[in-house]
Structure 1
């Protein structure tokens, strides 16, 4: 009798848990478009070639005299702001500050009040703040930074709460598939916003980037609070067969006694630091590519806003800074992931070093910009899932710590990029990519020196024997 529920309630696209994955897919899509939308909008929000008289001034599209041609394509009446590159870097990095602040508290809160409320509230708050962003920009850059930080806190709640949802809804043998469906929403959302963001800005004005995707998030909130429940046992619409299948599958998974996390042993573990360093290096460069891609294309290649949106067609969107969080649930056997992880750091570094020299060639620049995130995909089967080899018992905790290192790298790289390009556009971008390559090479050397794929002694299960 114990085996019948799993046999009857096997995976299927008509199951409620698959519907939950699709709803979460849409929610992740909304979250990432709200985050990346600013990278597209800021090309129209800030015109670095003009000389306006006052900050936060609302001007017509034909008043800038932009030789690059991007300003003439702006909708009349849209605001253009005097934000220096340092200010832009601060705005870009502020959302990561918010995510870090809620990375740990949101997981604890989800266990108390329920993941449905935490994730839904995070999505709703982020969507409302997105709708308010154009008004905040008119009121001043300080308010924009505050809005983006608060939005990061809301998104941190939404990202973290998903782990608790799947702990009660996903049978162990289906977690990889369900979490991949849900997590791919962030990849697809990045692709969508980079494809249509420039077109929306040109046709309707850049504020509509925030209005449209903020509204999409609010719509997802209605769907979320209507369809989703924390526990399949409490869901009023779930079939008896599926409920029995999920409950029986979760009851059969092996459990071990709860033990304290060996923090001291982790701090002294060099293979763990190799993973953390790999995360830091990987996210440093990927953050720059995802965040500053439209700005770089517009300012260096002088491509108009419409053509910026056509660039990510071959872009490996899954390289977004927070898109690999669901890999912790992937089933895999221990292996030696270092060669692929090493290539995932080495090849993007070579492309980054070559970028400044390829600037005169439009085709070569686009090729390198596509290769950087494309080759970094090799990290997915390298150090990103290396925690499952080194300490499988604490993989979830260590993935959270690793993601924290990635967020810190995102903050530092966005801030450093804004500072460097403010000094001089040509040499500034060159220094940005050289610095990114240096960070990657350092992470590569550290990972090759200390990285391992064997389970550590402090992470092994120990059986007590009595004589």
Structure 2
């Protein structure tokens, strides 16, 4: 057995316990990063209720904002978030994902902590701070693909990505009830302070303890370093010039458009629930903010479970060679879209709180199959540009972040069940369209313009070259 393959064999034989694998620590930290991504968004959905409605029967709302202004405030984060997706993708493609991710979350946290002061001065300043927070988180999100690219072997990516994404779901599960409790117990300002301080703490730990790649990490074992680098191979080679990127190929590629379309449609449903669920529960079923926060978290408990199952199932399929990558990506993406379409449509016609919550739990939970579908497809079709492609698709994917609150604001004028019905019907139709488009045009194969010659990789990836020389 040669030295280049021994790490792989050692990995397969289980000679390195999981707690000693540095890449597992990196994955855990990414998952905690996702946790902060979403607590810094969930707090807005809970805070808007506490800021503009009476938390109990003894206090009046501090702000008298109508439905349109509330929609603009909720949309503000996405306005900022969508503008910097490609910036984050380009920065992390060129320099790595650790610093863009860490500093992006840190600055997002700072603006979150300052938002209560801004709101009491001017609603428009609060909106501006929320936009700024979204801009800095927009830099962070695509950077996760650069971390996966440099740290996680291809066969483990869907599994590790599923675990990483589940951090965002835990953020929602924890964020809704905790933010609801904070608003009720201490006031709406703490809905901004607490998530902001937690995110800032994570950023400091991330920036001081996580390296850009195994090559730069001083704590990783040589065995694991060689295994990761030999497994990843040519995917770390990137063009360094912005102008040399295959822009025309990217924007004329139907598989790339399929990913972007699926991302847009999936997020339409996900963001409808993320941003509107507390308001829906409060308007239609008259639950208070504490009860609403708890009920809003239930669909995400189901999603967390499905994400873990999906990651393990995808890993098992790959190990057994049961499906091609293309078949696997289409299977999981279509299952996600179909389940969300069915259960969001059923939610529209539900008549009781229990019925609605059950359907929404199933819609969000079974929608979790996307974690082995389009969301990791960038790493299949063009791994060296995956952060950039994530930035592009996530730009489209977050258009619903400011469109859906405005649609809900226009449709829901009197807070009636009949008005909310159309919010869910529209979301259902969008889910179905995204699933069909993806199945028709997606692929799991590396695209021709993303192929890398072996000798080019040796130049761009000296660590891989060193491993090759040992064989």
Residue deviations 1:349-398 (CA, integer Å, cap 9, x gap): 33333334324x12112112222212323444454455567667765544
Work out which of the residue numbers 352, 355, 371 in structure 1 matches 2:347. Answer: 355
Alignment of 1:262-341 (within 5 A): 262-312=246-296, 314-316=298-300, 332=318, 333-336=324-327, 337-338=329-330, 341=333
Q: How far, CA to CA, are the matches of 1:275 and 1:111 in structure 2?
A: 19
Task: Give, in whole Å, the separation in 2 of the partners of 1:18 and 1:462.
Answer: 28
The alignment's TM-score, normalised by the length of structure 1, stands at: 0.78
Quick one: distance in 2 between partners of 1:342 and 1:234?
Answer: 39
Q: 1:30 to 1:453 in 2, by over 3 A?
A: closer
Unpaired runs of 5+ in structure 1? 48-63, 65-69
Residue 78 of structure 2: aligned partner: 96
Secondary structure of 1:72's match? coil
> Is 1:245 aligned with 2:224?
yes
Contact residue 172 and residue 249 of structure 1 kept, 8 A: no
Q: Secondary structure at the match of 2:262?
A: helix
* Residues 1:420 and 2:426 aligned together: no
* Contact residue 30 and residue 213 of structure 1 kept, 8 A: yes
Deviations 1:433-457 (A, max 9, x none): 2322333344345445x33547487
Q: Is the 8 A contact 1:262 1:458 kept in 2?
A: no
Aligned residue number for residue 361 of structure 2: 370
Counterpart in 1 of 2:44? 38
Partner of 1:183: 165
Partner of 2:56: 71
Aligned-residue offset at 1:334: 2.2
Are 2:30 and 1:27 aligned?
no
The 3-state SS of whatever aligns with 2:290 is helix
Aligned position for 1:53: none
Match of 2:103 in 1: 121
What are the residue-to-residue correspondences of 1:53-64 with 2, within 5 Å?
A: none
Query: Residue 13 of structure 1: SS of its match in structure 2?
Result: helix
8 Å CA contact retained: 2:84, 2:135 = yes
1:192, distance to aligned residue in structure 2 (A): 0.6
Cα offset for 1:174?
4.8
Paired residue for 1:193?
A: 175
Q: Give the Å deviation of 1:293.
A: 0.6
How high is the TM-score relative to the length of structure 2?
0.78
Query: Is the alpha carbon distance of 1:108 and 1:335 closer, same or farther for their aligned partners in structure 2, counting shifts above 3 Å?
Result: closer
Q: Tell me how far 1:182 sits from its aligned partner.
A: 3.5
Write the distance in 1 (CA, Å) between the matches of 2:129 and 2:382. 38
In terms of fraction of residues, the more helix-rich structure is 2
State the alpha-carbon separation in 2 of the partners of residues 358 and 128 from structure 1.
Answer: 41
Q: Which runs of 5+ in 2 are unaligned?
A: 319-323, 455-471
Q: 1:277 to 1:392 in 2, by over 3 A?
A: same
Distance 2:445 2:153 in 1: 25
- Residues 7-36 of structure 1 show CA distances to partners (whole Å, capped at 9, x for unaligned) of 388452134443333333323222311111
Mapped contact 2:149–2:379 kept (Cα < 8 A) = no
Matched, 1:108 2:126: no
Q: 2: CA distance between counterparts of 1:417 and 1:121? A: 33
Following the alignment from structure 1 to structure 2, what is the Cα–Cα distance between the partners of residues 157 and 460?
A: 23
Counterpart CA distance in 1 for 2:371 and 2:96 is 30
CA distance in 1, matches of 2:437, 2:96: 40
Distance 2:217 2:371 in 1: 35
